[in-house]
């Protein structure tokens, strides 16, 4: 296993992991939920910082510019821009395209936990199930109309999409996380003082 914060993860066979964009054929493939890593049972500042930085970067990759993020040893927030999108859930009638769009958009919510996983240098071993956390709940709300309740296929797609973006832009994740670790706050360049959007504060709850 590599040092923390360095994107060079190994699978059980010892090969380097490259998180490619998920294949369309996996969108309806149910998978067993992966066990929650012991190393992620309780929060610390570095993990919270990488969690929020992950949200910021995946939001940015989708064209959503987060103005600000904050982090403490037990909780953090990545702020949405204002105004918020009025219809973030796709409504396309195509039976294949709509689920794909919903699962892809949900990568914004999966990004926090996936960034923690990468920070710890641990490979993704399957879809992670953490329904007590607001991030999971918001992604679930977005995907449920297309996949049903707690679809491992939908959450796997969202998590793999987030991993692909985060691995590609890991240096940016680290830069934001370092700001959060050192100062407790990160602000986007050229931040306007009135652009803070509404936000739901969240805590990284211990997984029992």
CATH of the domain at 138: 1.20.58.760
Cα(23)–Cα(11) distance, rounded to whole angstroms?
A: 19
For residue 195, pLDDT over 50 is answered with no
Range of the domain at 149: 38-203
Q: Residue 86 falls within a domain, yes or no? A: yes
Q: Residue 158 falls within a domain, yes or no? A: yes
Q: Residue 164 falls within a domain, yes or no? A: yes
Specify the pLDDT at position 206: 35
Q: Residue 101 falls within a domain, yes or no? A: yes
What share of the chain in percent tops pLDDT 70? 78
Q: How many other CB atoms are found less than 10 A from the CB of residue 135?
A: 21
Q: Residue 185 falls within a domain, yes or no? A: yes
For residue 141, pLDDT over 70 is answered with yes
Q: Residue 7 falls within a domain, yes or no? A: no
Q: Residue 126 falls within a domain, yes or no? A: yes
What share of the chain in percent tops pLDDT 90? 66
Side by side, the strands of the sheet bearing 185-187 are: 185-187, 68-71, 75-78, 202-203
Q: Residue 155 falls within a domain, yes or no? A: yes
Name the band, by pLDDT with cuts 50, 70 and 90, for residue 68.
very high
Number of domains in the chain: 1
């Amino acid at each position: 296993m590599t040092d923390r914060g360095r994107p060079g993860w190994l699978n059980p066979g010892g090969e380097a992991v490259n998180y490619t964009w998920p294949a369309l054929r996996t969108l309806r493939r149910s998978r067993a939920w992966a066990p929650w890593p012991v190393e992620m049972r309780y929060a610390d500042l570095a993990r919270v910082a990488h969690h929020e930085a992950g949200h910021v970067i995946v939001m940015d990759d989708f064209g959503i510019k987060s103005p600000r993020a904050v982090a403490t040893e037990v909780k953090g927030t990545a702020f949405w821009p204002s105004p918020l999108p009025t219809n973030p859930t796709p409504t396309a009638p195509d039976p294949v395209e709509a689920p794909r769009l919903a699962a892809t958009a949900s990568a914004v919510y999966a990004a926090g936990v996936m960034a923690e996983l990468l920070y710890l240098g641990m490979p993704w071993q399957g879809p992670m199930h953490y329904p007590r956390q607001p991030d999971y709940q918001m992604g679930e709300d977005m995907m449920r109309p297309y996949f049903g309740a707690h679809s491992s296929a939908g959450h796997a797609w969202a998590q793999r999409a987030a991993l692909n973006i985060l691995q590609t832009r890991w240096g940016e994740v680290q830069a934001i996380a370092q700001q959060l670790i050192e100062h407790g706050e990160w602000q986007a360049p050229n931040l306007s003082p009135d652009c803070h959007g509404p936000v739901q504060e969240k805590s990284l709850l211990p997984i029992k």
